[in-house]
Structure 1
Amino acid sequence: MWSEEEIDALLEPLRHADSDNQSVEVKEAVGGLPTSLPETVSAFSNGNGGTIVLGVSERHGFSPIDGFDAKSIADAMAQMCREKLMPPVRPVIEIAEYHGSQVVISVIDETDPLDKPCYVRNRGRYSGSFIRVWDGDRKLSQYEIDRLLENRAQPTYDREIVGEATVDDLDSNTVQGILHLCRRQRPRIFGTIPDDDALHMLGVTGIDGDGGTHPTLAGLLAAGKYPQQFLPRLNITFTRYQGYSKVFAGGVKYIDNRTFDGPIPEILEETLLATRRNMRIGGVLDGPLRKDTFEYPEEAIREAVVNAVMHRDYSPMARGGQIQVNMYADRLEILSPGGLYGAVTTDTIGMPGATSTRNQTLAKLLELTPFHGGTVAENRGTGFELITATLTENGNGAPEIADTLTAFRMTFRSADTARLPDSRRDRRYAAQGEQADVDYSASVGLDHGKVPKPTHPKIVPFPHGGIDVQDITDRELYDQTIKGTPWLEEPYARYMGIERKPMDGDEAMPATSPAIGADAPDGGTGSGTMPPHADAGYSPLEEALLTLIGEHGTMATPQLVEATGAPRSTVTYQLRKLLRSGAIERTQPARSPKQEYRLKAA
C-alpha cells in the first residue's frame, strides 16, 4: 500500500518541473478515464515501464481533485489494460489515501521483449504503438516497430544476396585467407570441398533464383574489393571536433573529418589510425623508465568499432546510416545504427552469458577474416568486459552506454595523459611513487600497483550532451583547446586580443590563418596580410569570409564554401550573422537562386 510520504516523493519532482516526466503520468480522470490513457500504457510498456497516478490535478499543483470516484476508475483502468491493449497489460493497481482523498496508482511494467510492441488494439500495430519521450507519448515509427519485431526471429539481412555484384567483386587474397583458416580449423568439413562450395557454405556467396552466384552482404563487407559500390553508406566516418560539441563557438566545426570506405578490415585499420593520430599521447617517467600514456587505449577502441560493424542494423531501412566515430575534447563516441538486440539489454550487457548476435553470418565470417596476424573478431561474448577492464586500467573509468530502438552509442571519457595509471607502473619503482599519484589513483577508483576490477558500463540517457559549450568563455576555449595549435592559435589570439609569443614551427605557417575547417594548415586562403576588419571583433571564419568577399567584390555561398573548406551550414550561419551586423549585404532578393554577397559600404 502506498503511503502519503511515498506519493509525495513520487510527485515532488513533477511539482518542481511543473510537468509529467519520463516515468510518471498524472491525470485528473474525473468523470472517466482519459481517451489518451491507452497510448500512455502502450508507451510505458514499450519503454522501461512507468507509473500512472489518477485523481491528481496537474493544474492545481499536483494535489487531489474533488469529485474523483476511485473505485470505478480503478475498475475501468483494469478493464482498459485487459481489453484495449495487445498484448494485454496487467498493471499493479492500488487505491491509496492522499491528503484526505483517494487516488488510483497503476504501476506499468515493461513488456517482455519478445511481446513488444504493445499497441492499442483498435488502431493496429503500426498506428497504435507508442514510446515515452519525456512527458509525452510518441508514436513509434515503422522502422522502430520492425526492430522490436526483429527480436522475435533471427534477422538474416547479412546473408542477403547482392544481385548487382559478382564473385569478381571479392578480393581474392582475403577470400583465400578465409578459406585457409577455415580448412585449418575444420579440416573434416572443408578439407576436400571446392572453393565455390566452401564459400557458399560460409555465406560469402549465395545463389539467386536464376541460379547465378553472387556475394552476400556479409561476404562483400568482409572480403569485398569495394563494398560501397553497392552499399554506399555501410562505412565509417571519423570526426575530430575542436571542443565539447558538434556546434562549437568561434566557427571551428572540426579539425579532422574523414570517411573510410572498403571492406571491414580496411576501414577498421583506417579508423584505428585516425584515432591514434588525433588522441593525446603523453610521455611519463616511471623511475628511470619513460612510458607513453594514451588518452584512449587502442584495444578498447578496436573492440568497440568491431562490435559496431558486427552488430549494427543492416536492414534495408538502416543502410542509409553509417557508423560514426566522434572525438571531442573530453570524450570519444562510437555510434551505430540499431539498438541492442535480443537478450542483451542495458541491464545485462557485459554480464556472463548475456550474448545475442544480430548478424550471425557476418559474425562468423569476421572470426575467419585475416587482420594483423589474427582475425577481425573472436565473437566470444567478452567484448564489453574487455572494453571495461581496459578503460578502467587506463584511467578512463567505465564506458558509458546509451541505447534506443534506432541507435546505440558507447562513450569513452578522456584519461589524464599527464599521469601514468598505477596499473601500468613498473612495480620495481612503486616505492618511489609520490603521494599525489596515490591520491589521483584513488580519485579514479584505482588501487596502487594493482589492475582494477572491471566495473559495469554506465548507462546514460540518449542523447547525452556532455559539457554545455554555452558555459565556456572564449578565453577558456582558447586555453583548453586552441592554445598550442599554431594554425588555429594565431587567429584566435588576435580575435581575443591575446599577446602570443612565437612558437616552434610558426615560421612554417602561412602569413594569415588558414580556412577554418580545412584538413591541414596549408588549406588556407588570403593575401598574406591582416584584413582591415581584424580588429572589429569578428571570429576567424567571419574574417576569412569578409576577406574573400572584399577581394572578389561579390561571392556566392557555394564559392565561399569551396574557398574556406568549412561546412555549408557553418558558412550559411556566419553569413546570416554578418548580414545582421551590417558588415555585408545581398546583391539579389533574399530567396534568389543567384544570390551573392558584397561588403556593405560604410
Structure 2
Amino acid sequence: MWTEADLDDLLEPLRSARSDDQCIEVKESVGKLPASLAETISAFANGNGGTVTLGLSESNDFAPAAGFKPQPIAEALAQLCRDKMIPPLHPSIEIVPYRGSSVVIASIDELDPLDKPCYVATKGRYSGSFIRVWDGDRKLSSYEIDRLMENRVQPAFDRELIEEADPDDLLTDITQGILALKRRQSPRIFGAMSDDAALHALGVTGIGADGRTHPTLAGLLVAGNYPQQFLPRLNVTFACYPGYDKAGIDGVKFIDNRSFDGPVPEILNDVLSAVSRNMRIGGVLDGPFRKDTYEYPQDAVREAVVNAVMHRDYSPMARGGQIQVNMYKDRLEILSIGGLYGNVTPETIGEPGVSSTRNQTLAKLLESTPFRDGVVAENRGTGFDLIDTLLQDNGNGSPLIQNSLTMFSLTFHSADTAILPGNRRDPEYAEWGNRPENGYDTVQTPSAGQPTRRADVAGGSANTASMSESIRRQRRKDIGRPLVMPFPGRRRLTVTELDDAGIRPASDDPGNRSVLEEQMLHILQEQGTVQTPELMKLTGAPRSTITYQLRKLLTQGVIERTQPARSPKQSYRLRQPEPMPRGNGE
C-alpha cells in the first residue's frame, strides 16, 4: 500500500525538476483520462516499467487537482489497460489519500520480451507502439518494432543466401580449416561428407533459387575473400582520439583511424593490432624481472569484438551500420548495431544459464573458425563474465553497459599502467577519475620496428592530483551521462569495517569489490535504505550499471530488498547478519 510519505518521496525529484521523468507520469485527469495516457502506458510496458499518478497538478507544484474524482478514474484506467492495449495489461491500481484529497496510482510493469511491443489497439502495432524518453513518449520506429518482434521467433538473416556471390568468393584456407576441425570433432557426421555437402550442412553455403550454390551471409562473413564487395558496411572501424571526445585537440582529430575489411578472422586480428598499437603499455617489477602492463587486456578486447560481430543485427535495415571500436584518452568503447536479444538484458547478462543467440549459424561457424592458436569464439555464454574478470584483474574496473533497441555498447575504463601496484585487483587504480590533466595526450616516436604507443609520461604516484572540473565537464559532455566518480568524501572500506557491517568479499582479497560496489556499500551503510535513483545520483553511474551491481550484491547475499521484487517503491539495505543462537546459560 502506498502512503502519503511514499508519494512525497516519489514526487520530490519531480518538484525539483518541475517535470515528469523517465519512469513517473503525473496527470490531473479531472473529469476524464487524458488522451495521451495510452501512449504513456505503452511506453512504460515496452521500456523498464513506470508509475502513473492521476489527480495531481504538475503546474501547481504537484498539489492535488481540484475536482478530481478518484473512483471513476481508477475504473477508467483499469478498462483502458484491459481493453484498449494489446496485449492487455493488468497493473496494480490504488486510490491513495494525499493532502486532504485522493490520487490514483498505477504501477505498470515491463512486459516480458516475448510479449513486446505493447501498443494502443486503435492505432495498430506500427503507429501505436511507444517508448519512454525522459519525460515524454516517443513512437517506436518500424526498425525498433521489428527487433522486438524478433524475440518471438528465431532470426535467420545470417543464413540468407548472398546470390551475387559464388563459392569462388570464399577463401579455401579458412573453409578447409573449418572442415578439418569439424571432421576431428565429429568424424561420424562429417568424416564421409564431401567438402561441398559439409559446407552446406554447416550453413557456409546453400542452393539458391537459380539452382546454383551461393555463400550465406554467415559463410561470407567468416570465410569470404572480400565480403564487403557485397555487404559494404559489415565491417569494423577503429578510431583513436587524442582527447575525451571526438572534437580533436589543436587541430588533431585522430591519432589513428582505420576501416577493416575482409573475413572475420582478419578483421579481428587487425582490430587487436590497432588497439595494441595505440594503448599505453607500462611496466611493473615481478621479483627481479620487469613485465609489461597493458591499458586494456587484449583478451577482453577480443571477446568484446567477437561478441559484437556474433550478436549484432544483420537484418536488411541494419546492414548500413558498422561495428565501431573507439579509443579515447580514458576509455575504450565497442559499439554494435542492435540491442540485446531474447532473454538477455543488462540486468541478466552474465548470469548462469541466461544466453540467447540472435545469429545461430554465424555463432556456430565462429566456434570452428581458426584464429591464432585456437578458434574465433567458444560461444559458451561466458563472454561477459570473462570480460568482467579480465578487466578487474587488469585494474580497469567493471565495464559499463548501454543498451537500446538499436545499439549495444561496452565501455572499458582505462587502467593506469604507470601506477599499477603488485596487487592489480586494487580498485583504487581502476578509478580513472583521479588522473593528471595532461598525462597521456602526446605520442611517442617509436624506435625502428616498434609500434607507436601513447606516451606514459605521468609521474608514477598513486597520489596524483584529481583532474580539474573543466575536464570532468568535458567528459560528461562526451558520453552524455554522469561519470562513475568516487563517492564524495569517501574512502575505501577497510576489512574491519566490512566485517563490522556483515559484508564479506568474494575472497580474502578486498580488492575483489569494484570501486562502484564499495561506493554503494558505503551509501547503504550510512543511509540505511536507498532506492536506485538515489544510488544513481550519489555515484553518477547510469541505471543499467547500478542495476547490474545491485543484482550481484543480491546474489552474493550482501544486500536485500525491502519490498517485493517488482515493487515501484523498491529500496535496498545491507543484509542483516543472522543473530547468534543464545546458549542455555545465557
**Fold agreement, TM-score > 0.5:** yes
Shift of 1:486: 7.3
Deviations 1:368-387 (A, max 9, x none): 11111211011111111110
Deviations 1:442-468 (A, max 9, x none): 63599xxxxxxxxxxxxxxxxxxx99x
Corresponding position of 1:459: none
Shift of 1:347: 1.1
Checking the alignment, whether the CA contact within 8 Å between 1:395 and 1:421 is kept in structure 2 is: no
Corresponding position of 2:199: 199
Deviations 1:546-568 (A, max 9, x none): xxxxxxxxxxxxxxxxxxxxxxx
Corresponding position of 2:355: 355
Corresponding position of 2:334: 334
Corresponding position of 2:295: 295
SS at match of 2:60: coil
How many Å separate the matches in 2 of 1:126 and 1:258?
Answer: 38
- 1:122-521 residue pairs with structure 2 within 5 A? 122-248=122-248, 250-423=250-423, 441=426, 443=428, 479-482=438-441, 484-485=442-443
Checking the alignment, whether the CA contact within 8 Å between 2:416 and 2:429 is kept in structure 1 is: no
SS at match of 1:123: coil
SS at match of 2:384: helix
Checking the alignment, whether the CA contact within 8 Å between 2:332 and 2:413 is kept in structure 1 is: yes
- CA shift in 2, pair 1:192/1:486, >3 Å: closer
SS at match of 1:59: helix
Q: Which amino acid in the other structure matches residue 16 of structure 2?
A: H
How many Å separate the matches in 2 of 1:250 and 1:132?
Answer: 39
SS at match of 2:285: strand
Bigger radius of gyration: 1
- Name the % identity: 66
Checking the alignment, whether the CA contact within 8 Å between 1:394 and 1:423 is kept in structure 2 is: no
Count of residues in Structure 1 that have an aligned counterpart in Structure 2: 449
Q: Which amino acid in the other structure matches residue 218 of structure 2?
A: A
Deviations 1:260-312 (A, max 9, x none): 00000000000000000000000122342211111000010000000000010
Shift of 1:250: 3.8
Shift of 1:62: 1.1
Corresponding position of 1:108: 108
Corresponding position of 1:557: none
Shift of 1:247: 2.7
How many Å separate the matches in 2 of 1:69 and 1:207?
Answer: 66
Give the alignment's TM-score, normalised by structure 1: 0.72
How many Å separate the matches in 2 of 1:315 and 1:339?
Answer: 13
- CA shift in 2, pair 1:248/1:53, >3 Å: farther
How many Å separate the matches in 2 of 1:287 and 1:189?
Answer: 51
How many Å separate the matches in 1 of 2:122 and 2:256?
Answer: 51
How many Å separate the matches in 1 of 2:223 and 2:90?
Answer: 50
How many Å separate the matches in 1 of 2:277 and 2:228?
Answer: 25
Checking the alignment, whether the CA contact within 8 Å between 2:311 and 2:358 is kept in structure 1 is: yes
Shift of 1:251: 3.6
How many Å separate the matches in 2 of 1:442 and 1:362?
Answer: 37
- CA shift in 2, pair 1:124/1:161, >3 Å: same
SS at match of 1:257: strand
Deviations 1:149-176 (A, max 9, x none): 0000000000000000000000011111
How many Å separate the matches in 1 of 2:285 and 2:177?
Answer: 42
Shift of 1:249: 5.1
Corresponding position of 2:90: 90
Query: Gaps (5+ residues) in structure 1?
Result: 425-439, 447-465, 488-503, 506-518, 521-602
Shift of 1:200: 0.4
Corresponding position of 1:10: 10
Shift of 1:254: 1.9
How many Å separate the matches in 2 of 1:357 and 1:114?
Answer: 15
- CA shift in 2, pair 1:486/1:359, >3 Å: closer
Shift of 1:245: 1.1
- CA shift in 2, pair 1:11/1:203, >3 Å: same
Corresponding position of 1:32: 32
Checking the alignment, whether the CA contact within 8 Å between 1:243 and 1:481 is kept in structure 2 is: no
Query: Gaps (5+ residues) in structure 2?
Result: 454-586
Checking the alignment, whether the CA contact within 8 Å between 1:160 and 1:217 is kept in structure 2 is: yes
Corresponding position of 1:516: none
Checking the alignment, whether the CA contact within 8 Å between 1:393 and 1:421 is kept in structure 2 is: no
Q: Which amino acid in the other structure matches residue 286 of structure 1?
A: D
Corresponding position of 1:544: none
SS at match of 2:78: helix
Checking the alignment, whether the CA contact within 8 Å between 1:226 and 1:261 is kept in structure 2 is: yes
Deviations 1:63-95 (A, max 9, x none): 111100011110000001111100011111000
Q: Which amino acid in the other structure matches residue 267 of structure 2?
A: I
Q: Which amino acid in the other structure matches residue 78 of structure 1?
A: A
Q: Which amino acid in the other structure matches residue 372 of structure 1?
A: R
SS at match of 2:426: helix
